[in-house]
Amino acid sequence: MVPKVHAVLDRMAVFAEHLASGTWRGHTGKPIRNVINIGIGGSDLGPRMATQALAHYCDRNLRLRFISNIDGTDFAEATRDLDPSETLFIVCSKTFTTLETMANANAARAWCVAALADPASVARHFVAVSTNLKAVAAFGIDPANTFEFWDWVGGRYSLASAVGLALMVAIGPSHFRDMLAGMHMMDEHFRSMPLERNLPAILGLIGIWYSNFFGCESHAVLPYDQYLAALPAYLQQLDMESNGKRVDRSGRLVDFDTGPIIWGQAGTNGQHAFHQLLHQGTRLVPCDLIGFCQSLNPLGEHHDLLIANLLAQAQALAFGKTAQEATAEGITPALVPHRSFPGNRPSNVILLERLTPHALGQLIALYEHKVFVQGAIWGIDSFDQWGVELGKTLAQRINPDLGTHKRGAELKHDSSTNALIHYYQARRSTTKQ
């Protein structure tokens, strides 16, 4: 597989360079200025998060956007100010059958062909990333413009594959390879480091300690870096889709908790919102505080203030403030219970030197292996996601009943769903929507 993987990476690099240099042009001969990745879940969250995380390294002449949602608003807002003759779509889908992605890809093709008045324009405005080369060809995308990956690459673990094409286009092949090198370094660390110094193993074990021995229901990811604002959403999928399982690998119900609820947002914003609960709420929420020693955008005292806040959160969570300390500060006795902090609340501080593609690669691989460590200890399969399937099947069953032609028709769902469908049918617009 390795030579095949490198062959695809090389083709991706050539494509990215052609876009950046203007060698690749649109159907009317204009250079491409906008690149839109159409994909969802594992074919969206990774490239979206990493493109944002590495914006500092991006070619600012190219505008990168992401469309994932089946809500038409996502497509409308992503394309409203763009010129189709300068826009290229990357249709990114492992299966090339995903409802949301195919609906958005069809909308994109119609948008492009209507503006450029030529179905042949698809050749210069669409490329695909997929394992399903047949379906890509049937959609009308030239196999020469298709970047392959393979069945053994799981969606939420796919950023390092051709799924990272939008990212490579944004940051350039050399930065993309730096990210891969960072991931590789963490892979090697995980493979070779003794357990007591093995970061993914330690992170995984700490997580299990709090989930299974303290009953912690959730885990907060708090990056103290604006570029990493999308990291919590990315890790939410990585962790919750991998380890949100209630049966073990042999199909037996487990009698312990598995994957926690992952949530969070960039600090310091969260401090002015939900950190109250972390410090003084009734629940114990372990968290990861992630920061960088060097800023990519030095500005006055900003960076020291940012890091001071990160460290202060870890300190406040760990040590709190006792009633005696509050009293010694002269706080009125009636207010002492409100102004004291229990402390003894766990956090991991993850400090890296600088947010480079290499460091981001290490961070992503750290969490991938942490998820694997936990799944292995819990004995669950971290690499399936059957829980996603039921909703998809039911939506396909409900969809045909939503049209106005079905208004008042007898429905065969459960009574609650039937009532909601009737309510919707009575109010939906009678035009195609």
Q: Which lies closer to ligand G6Q via its Cβ, residue 121 or residue 161?
A: 161
The type of residue at 281 is G
Cβ closest to ligand G6Q, residue 154 vs residue 267? 154
Nearer to ligand G6Q, 68 or 85 (CB): 68
Active-site residue, from 196, 272, 301, 410: 272
Is residue 179 within 8 Å of residue 50, measured between CB atoms? yes
CB of 99 to ligand G6Q, least distance (A): 9
In 183-254, which ranges are E strands? 218-223
**CA trace torsion 174, 177, 178, 184 (10° rounding):** -170
Exactly one of 100, 148, 241, 368 is catalytic; name it: 241
SS3 category, 323: helix
Beta-ladder partners of 294:
354
Least distance CB 385 / ligand G6Q (angstroms): 5
Strand, helix or coil for residue 282: coil
- With 0-12 CB in 10 A as exposed, 13-18 as middle and 19+ as buried, what is 52? buried
Q: Which residue is nearest to ligand G6Q (CB)?
A: 41
Q: Which of 56, 134, 302, 392 is catalytic?
A: 392
Residues that bind ligand G6Q (CB under 6 A): 40-43, 93-95, 98, 101, 154-156, 241, 385
Minimum separation from the CB atom of position 245 to ligand G6Q (A): 13
Least distance in Å: CB of 353 to ligand G6Q? 30
Name the residue nearer to ligand G6Q (CB basis): 52 or 237: 237
Angle value at C-alpha 300, between 299 and 304, nearest 5 degrees: 90
SS3 state at 343: coil
Q: Strand, helix or coil at 87?
A: strand
Nearer to ligand G6Q by Cβ, of 27 and 245: the residue is: 245
Q: Tell me if residue 321 is catalytic.
A: no
Measured CA angle at 412 (ends 410, 417), to 5 deg: 100
Active site residue 272: yes
108 vs 350 by CB, closer to ligand G6Q: 108
Given a contact cutoff of 8 angstroms between Cβ atoms, the answer to whether 96 and 129 are in contact is: no
Considering the complex, state which of residue 43 and residue 362 has its C-beta at the smaller distance from ligand G6Q: 43
Backbone angles phi, psi at 63, to 5 degrees: -100, 120
What's the closest the beta carbon of residue 157 comes to ligand G6Q, in angstroms? 7
Q: Shortest distance, CB of residue 102 to ligand G6Q, whole angstroms?
A: 8
Torsion region of 335: left, alpha or beta (phi above 0 gives left; psi -120 to 50 gives alpha): alpha
Quote the tokens at residue 47: 């490239």
Q: Give least dist CB 222 to ligand G6Q, A.
A: 24
Residue 268: cis peptide before it, omega within 30 degrees of 0: yes
Tell me the residue type at 383: F
Nearest to 221 by CA among 291, 280, 279, 155: 291
Question: Active-site positions?
Answer: 241, 272, 392
